[in-house]
Amino acid sequence: MSMILAIIAVQAASSTGPVATSDQAAPSGQTDQTGTAQPLGTQQAASPSVTTAGPGALTQGSASQGSASQGAASQTDASGGSTGLLLPRGTATDIRPSFTDGTGGVLIGDRRLDTVTLRRRPAYDPVGIRAGSYLIFPEVSSTVGYDSNVYRQRSGASDVFGRVRGAVQVRSDFPRNAVVFDGYVDQRVYGSYSTENALTYDAHLLGRLDFGRNDRITTEVRHTRAVMDRGAASEILNTREPIRYDVTISSIAGRKTFGRLSLGLGGAVSYADYDDAETPAGLPLSQQFRDSTVYQLHGDAGYALAAGPELFVSVTGEARRFRVAAPPITRDANSVEVLGGVRSDITPLLRGQIGIGYIHADFKDPTIRSRGALGINVALDYLVTPLTTLHASARRELRNVASVTAPAALVTEGRVGVDHELLRNLILSGSVGYQHADYLNSDGTVRRYTVDGGARWLLNRRIRVDFDAGYQRRDGSGRANNQEFGETRASVGVAYHL
């Protein structure tokens, strides 16, 4: 991994790259032709060139997993919570080909159609700061909001909150190859309930070495400090403060094409370390039973049809090992996910992925039977008009849960959303979602419903205003019955970037 990053660094010393003018600045939330990520503070699409929500994508607790490009205003970032650790789960590296030609749009003849959130907006896209062969995109933002149910309980307490966030992205501007660093520090503070205050941060370094137009090796390392969402389907514990945890990830992947045939292979190792918690009464509540190391291997093959779609099959294997034993059961597991389907430009106006297959998990504990289920991984964008984009996603997988008696939960979730460009600099977004979690080796079941809406107002190249509002409801049965709640939230934020 260090060798790949060193080779790319050598190229940086020998190439200054083209100088971008204001009109050549990276478009909002879009992947440029080098496949690198775009300025922070803009909507990020699921471009597998850097990080993806494709088959086996590593989301390590992203609080909102949407479709191939989620609503600009309603997306929840990693610092806002976590839906839990995925089992199986893939790497966030490029182990699959990009859904597009690298510019984030659908090509029809000589005319390119972009989704609303990926569209280039030269008058509003950040320009960044050039430093030789690199572009630097700093951003600071502040948000104030209201939460009707801070503790996610039946009789919830309301509060106001504020958050301050500093972020930066540094990306290369080489003719070939790519290096991207991005990170943030986020401080969340509540007005009355200081137990919900949280400091989170993330640092991510990615390098890509190109051997041809579509042949490449990608490697990355990432460390994240995050907070679990009290309302996540994996959470059934009542704690005085939200549970904090750290995740460290290292991965490498490669892709080789042979005409219409493409082959990908990747591997990853990640470690999750949870802080101990306290009960509402202040008694110690150890979380060491959740610490785990995950070893994963992913392979896929795709065959591009003449009309544009690509048929694919993928296999993801995973071994999850927990650091300490947690009687009464042993929760170590081996799992495999096999998917097949179609991806890329499925039709001129429909792009993304439809993957259907099978997931299977074998548990080390002899008292827990193996579990298999239909595997689903769908992420689609439909360009209704040049000003309106529909998104749809669906996923089924096995996830870890906060229980010493349940080795995992079978989670099925889906989301449908829409983005509409009311004005060139005003984007409206909305989505509805559903999540169902069936706890294995237990009688617990969780259902979660969400409705989100928002707006993104681009004042100029430097200033952006975000409005967000949403409602979620969770109910359950069995062991999860005590976690029923409803919550309404709203916030407004201002971001300043260069």
The pLDDT of residue 212 is above 70: yes
pLDDT for 480 equals 56
Lowest mean pLDDT among 6-15, 213-222, 335-344, 438-447: 6-15
Lowest mean pLDDT among 72-81, 147-156, 177-186, 305-314: 72-81
pLDDT for 393 equals 97
Lowest mean pLDDT among 75-79, 199-203, 297-301, 424-428: 75-79
Contact 246, 225 (CB under 8 A): yes
pLDDT for 374 equals 95
pLDDT for 110 equals 33
Residue 165 CA, distance from chain mean position:
18
The whole-angstrom separation of Cα 184 and Cα 79 is: 9
pTM for the full predicted model? 0.78
pLDDT tens digits, 140-162: 999 999 999 999 888 889 999 99
Does a cis peptide bond (omega within 30 degrees of 0) precede residue 88? yes
Enumerate domains of the chain plus CATH numbers. Answer: 2-497 (2.40.160)
Q: CA dihedral defined by 192, 194, 196, 200, rounded to 10 degrees?
A: 130
> At 3, is the secondary structure helix, strand, or coil?
helix
Mean pLDDT (whole number) for 345-365: 93
The whole-angstrom separation of Cα 475 and Cα 482 is: 9
Nearest to 255 by CA among 247, 265, 246: 265
pLDDT tens digits, 431-459: 999 999 988 887 778 899 999 999 999 99
Mean pLDDT (whole number) for 9-18: 40
In this structure, the strands spanning 159-172 and 409-423 are: unpaired
Lowest mean pLDDT among 115-119, 252-256, 437-441, 442-446: 442-446
**What is the pLDDT confidence band of residue 299, given thresholds at 50, 70 and 90?**
very high
Identity of residue 33: Q
DSSP 200-254: EEEEEEEEEEESSSS-EEEEEEEEEEEE--TTSTT-----SSPPEEEEEEEEEEE
Nearest to 108 by CA among 383, 346, 310, 349: 349
**What is the pLDDT confidence band of residue 404, given thresholds at 50, 70 and 90?**
confident
β-bridge partners, 331: none
DSSP 328: T
Mean pLDDT (whole number) for 412-421: 96
The whole-angstrom separation of Cα 63 and Cα 204 is: 18
The pLDDT of residue 222 is above 50: yes
Nearest to 371 by CA among 90, 83, 88: 88
Lowest mean pLDDT among 35-39, 372-376, 475-479: 35-39
The whole-angstrom separation of Cα 353 and Cα 324 is: 38
Give the number of C-alpha atoms closer than 13 A to the C-alpha of residue 430, restricted to the C-beta side: 5
Give the CA distances from residue 294 to residues 85, 248, 322, 403, 451, in Å, rounded to whole numbers and listed in that order. Answer: 10, 11, 9, 18, 33
pLDDT for 399 equals 83
The pLDDT of residue 58 is above 60: no
**What is the pLDDT confidence band of residue 102, given thresholds at 50, 70 and 90?**
very low
The pLDDT of residue 6 is above 60: no
pLDDT for 174 equals 92
Does a cis peptide bond (omega within 30 degrees of 0) precede residue 328? yes
pLDDT for 380 equals 96
The whole-angstrom separation of Cα 96 and Cα 178 is: 17
Residue with tokens 């559903």: 434
Q: Which has more confidence, 296 or 57?
A: 296
Contact 498, 128 (CB under 8 A): yes
